[in-house]
């Protein structure tokens, strides 16, 4: 399935489970980071995902328009009604990554709908430190796009202790949006597209290896 946020029943389930035990720690963090920070609005994570219990933390650039409350779902979710989320949902399914395996996040988690600047990425790294402290079961950092990879490097430089005693597999690839394929060379375009698929499979293989599932 993809774009299930178009379904009234599915959206109602997400609303009702916003503070379910696995989602509560992260969504309460989101509550604290909203308007009082002065940076604006930030979507909650959908309880469709693993929340604090997820084994994979998937990081993109910034929340898209379909995460907005009212015009969108109000959540980060691979079932949002947009092409990037649809691509993620299908790619994860094909790679053996279940919704509860992963928590979606962004390099800059506040809504800006543009590329974050250096200062904003540094702010994102500070939030990422807090987020990882809430996710003790995370085994894989899935960094999709330049901003995601940048915020990870910033975290390592500023707060090496945040990951010093953790074993985290880092998988990096291109952003799942179509913009990542906007290159003239068709061979490079195909290479990037395949790299995204292969990277998701690598994440799925880590999960399968640890659990013994096919």
Q: What is the pLDDT of residues 153-203, one digit of tens each?
A: 999 999 999 998 999 999 999 999 999 999 999 999 999 999 999 999 999
**Tell me, what's the pLDDT at 206?**
95
**Tell me, what's the pLDDT at 190?**
97
**Tell me, what's the pLDDT at 2?**
78
- Mean pLDDT, all residues of the chain: 94
Domains of the chain: total: 1
**What is the percent of the chain where pLDDT is above 90?**
91
Please check the confidence at residue 37 and state whether its pLDDT lies above 70.
no
**What is the percent of the chain where pLDDT is above 70?**
95
Query: Which tens digits make up the pLDDT trace of 127-144?
Result: 999 999 999 999 999 999
Return the SS3 of 75.
Answer: strand
Around Cβ 108, how many Cβ atoms within 10 Å? 26
Return the SS3 of 45.
Answer: strand
Buried b or exposed e, range 126-140, using 16+ CB within 10 angstroms? ebbbebbeebeebbb
Query: Which residues, at least 6 apart from 160, have a Cβ–Cβ distance to it below 8 Å?
Result: none
Buried b or exposed e, range 86-97, using 16+ CB within 10 angstroms? bbbbebbbebbb
Structural domain harbouring 11: 4-211
* Cα Rg of the chain (Å, integer): 16
Domain containing 169 — which CATH number?
A: 3.40.470.10
Burial class (CB within 10 angstroms; exposed 0-12, middle 13-18, buried 19+) of 124 = buried
**Tell me, what's the pLDDT at 22?**
98
**Tell me, what's the pLDDT at 211?**
53
Query: Which tens digits make up the pLDDT trace of 61-112?
Result: 999 999 999 899 999 999 999 999 999 999 999 999 999 999 999 999 999 9
Specify whether the CB–CB gap between 33 and 65 falls below 8 A. no
Residue given tokens 């990882």 in the structure block: 132
Query: Which residues, at least 6 apart from 125, have a Cβ–Cβ distance to it below 8 Å?
Result: 151, 154, 155, 158, 159
Please check the confidence at residue 209 and state whether its pLDDT lies above 80.
no
């Amino acid at each position: 399935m993809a774009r299930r946020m178009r379904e009234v029943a599915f959206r109602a389930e997400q609303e009702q489970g916003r503070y379910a035990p696995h989602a509560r720690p992260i969504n309460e963090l989101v509550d604290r980071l909203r308007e009082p920070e002065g940076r604006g609005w930030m979507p909650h994570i959908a309880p469709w995902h693993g929340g604090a219990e997820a084994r994979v933390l998937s990081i993109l650039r910034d929340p898209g328009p379909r995460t907005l409350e009212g015009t969108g779902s109000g959540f980060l979710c691979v079932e949002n009604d947009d092409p990037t989320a649809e691509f993620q949902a299908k790619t994860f399914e094909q790679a053996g990554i279940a919704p509860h395996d992963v928590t979606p996040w962004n390099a800059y988690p506040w809504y800006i709908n543009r590329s974050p600047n250096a200062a904003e990425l540094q702010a994102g790294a500070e939030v990422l430190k807090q987020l990882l402290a809430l996710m003790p079961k995370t085994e894989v950092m899935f960094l999709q796009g330049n901003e995601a990879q940048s915020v990870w490097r910033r975290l390592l430089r500023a707060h090496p202790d945040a990951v010093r005693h953790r074993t985290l597999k880092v998988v990096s690839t291109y952003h799942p949006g179509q913009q990542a394929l906007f290159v003239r060379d068709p061979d490079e375009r195909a290479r990037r597209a395949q790299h995204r698929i292969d990277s998701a499979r690598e994440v799925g293989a880590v999960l399968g290896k640890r659990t013994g599932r096919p």
